[in-house]
A and B are shown apart, each in its own frame.
Chain A
Amino acid sequence: MNEILDRNIKDVIREFPALEQVLAEFSIGCTGCSLGTCQLKDIVEIHNLSFDHEQLLMKRIATIVYPGQARTIPAIARKTQQKSNDTKLCPPLRELVDEHTHIKRVLGLLPDLLKRSDLAPERRIVMTGECIDFIRDYADAFHHAKEEKILFSYFDANSDIIASFVKEHETGRSHVRAAREGLAANDAAAMGQHLTAYAELLAEHIKKEDEILYPWMNRSLSDNQVGRLFSEFANVNSQFAEKTKSHVARIARMEQTLAHKADPVNAA
């Protein structure tokens, strides 16, 4: 079975579409990944499958890829000693999850902001500009920079899983650039299209980070690395402290504005 385990997950699913359902049953959602170059054998480690689940998954894969053939199911060697899935996230990773909360609040505002007819056009432009500023300043220059410049440096930057998340950051940046250009050119359609695409991409990206990437990293980081990450994050946090406060306050104001507009009686 090694020849199939060494292949990229996307190529394998393309050739054997029935595998998508099998992987989904084990809560492995690789079909949604924009890169899909992780090898099939790496999935087991990233999702920290128990030995029993690993064997069951491999048997199901063998049934689809090699129907009617008897195949030896290999035990997949794990690169790192994996801690239990029950381990709570270490403080630096928990901090990133908390930052996702603010980002998700803004992503949640965007659909309403883009579609509301009761907002004056000038107000909509200002608030959309504020959302774009938040995305560039907080989500990207602060949060994603901590991931790319600090967190990812503790892992193999050439690994497929890290590369896939970096690629999604870059795709997000191109959508934000295009949205800014749309805003500057007064092209509401282009701006709306790119902000909507960005919101969908980020929502899925955050879900994968919270549920897969960060738990995998949490299991792999040593205590010494956790301490160093904590300290490096603290340095960045102190530089952004005032901006972070101002952005969080701005989100609350926008949420209040939109709630008030939606329900002027009860939102007051």
Chain B
Amino acid sequence: MEGCPGSKMVDFRTEKTQTETGTTAKAVSQLRQWPVQLHLISPTAPYYQGADVVLTADCVGYALGNFHADFLKGKSIAIGCPKLDADQDEYVDKIASWCDDAKINILHVVIMQVPCCRGLLQIAQQGVAKASRKVPIKYSIVSLKGEILQEEWVTAAA
């Protein structure tokens, strides 16, 4: 039995590091809010009103080398772990509140390729399905090495 891919140890230190391109200047943080953890945020905070929201799994920010520039810039954020976080019904309610009360523009869900991460997308779909006001959901799947494996728009769960 191999065990859960989400917690399986993978060591790729010996692999050749990708050649860095572009400027060596320090990357500027694109975070424009606090808190970020989904249990802590208020869905009606001013930075969610009418916003493009990115909902990411906890590990995404570490896997994606250019997370701030490519995914966070211009957006509001929340993070969560669909495998380890408790009381995930609250997550569904907060996402529904984003849609109905904050009237967010889009919800971009970014998850890792490990199977357990898919739960975050399901939570997002349940939240939007619960809301009266629908928003389009886009999802991106990130590999352990920071590549985008898949990216597409979905419809909310019925």
Contact = CB atoms under 8 A, between A and B. Distances in A.
B136 interface: yes
Contact of B52 (A87, A224, A234): A224
Contact of B105 (A89, A94, A224): A224
A32 interface: no
A227 B152 contact: no
A226 B152 contact: no
- What band does the interface of chain A fall in when counting residues whose beta carbon is under 8 Å from B? 10 to 19
B134 A227 contact: no
B108 interface: yes
Contacts of A94: 153
- What band does the interface of chain B fall in when counting residues whose beta carbon is under 8 Å from A? 10 to 19
B77 interface: no
Contacts of A88: 152-153
Interface string B47-59: 0000010000000
A13 to B, nearest CB: 36
B52 A91 contact: no
Contacts of A90: 136, 153
A223 B133 CA distance: 18
A224 B106 contact: yes
Contacts of B106: 223-224, 226-227, 230
B152 A223 contact: no
B153 A227 contact: no
Nearest to A229: B136
Contacts of A89: 153
Which of B104, B138, B153 gathers the greatest number of chain A CB atoms within 10 Å? B153
Contacts, number: 39
A223 B155 contact: no
A40 B136 CA distance: 35
A245 to B, nearest CB: 18
Which of A87, A89, A91, A230 gathers the greatest number of chain B CB atoms within 10 Å? A91
B135 interface: yes
Contact of B155 (A87, A91, A228): A91
A256 interface: no
A234 B134 contact: yes
B135 A226 contact: no
Contacts of A92: 136
A227 B52 contact: yes
Interface in B37-96: 52, 74
A230 B135 contact: yes
Nearest to A234: B134
Given A87-B152, A88-B152, A228-B105, A223 B52 contact: yes
B152 to A, nearest CB: 5
A137 to B, nearest CB: 24
A227 B155 contact: no
Nearest to A223: B106
Contacts of A226: 106, 136, 138, 153
Interface string A220-246: 000110111011001000000000000
21 contacts: A87-B151, A88-B153, A89-B153, A90-B153, A91-B136, A91-B153, A223-B106, A223-B138, A224-B52, A224-B74, A224-B106, A226-B136, A226-B138, A227-B52, A227-B104, A227-B106, A227-B136, A228-B105, A230-B135, A230-B136, A234-B133
Given A228-B105, A234-B133, 14 more contacts: A87-B152, A92-B136, A94-B153, A223-B106, A223-B138, A226-B153, A227-B52, A227-B104, A227-B105, A227-B135, A230-B106, A230-B134, A230-B136, A231-B105
Interface of A: 87-92, 94, 223-224, 226-228, 230-231, 234
Among all A-B residue pairs, the 10 with the closest Cβ atoms: A227-B105, A227-B106, A91-B136, A230-B136, A90-B153, A88-B152, A224-B52, A223-B106, A91-B153, A226-B136
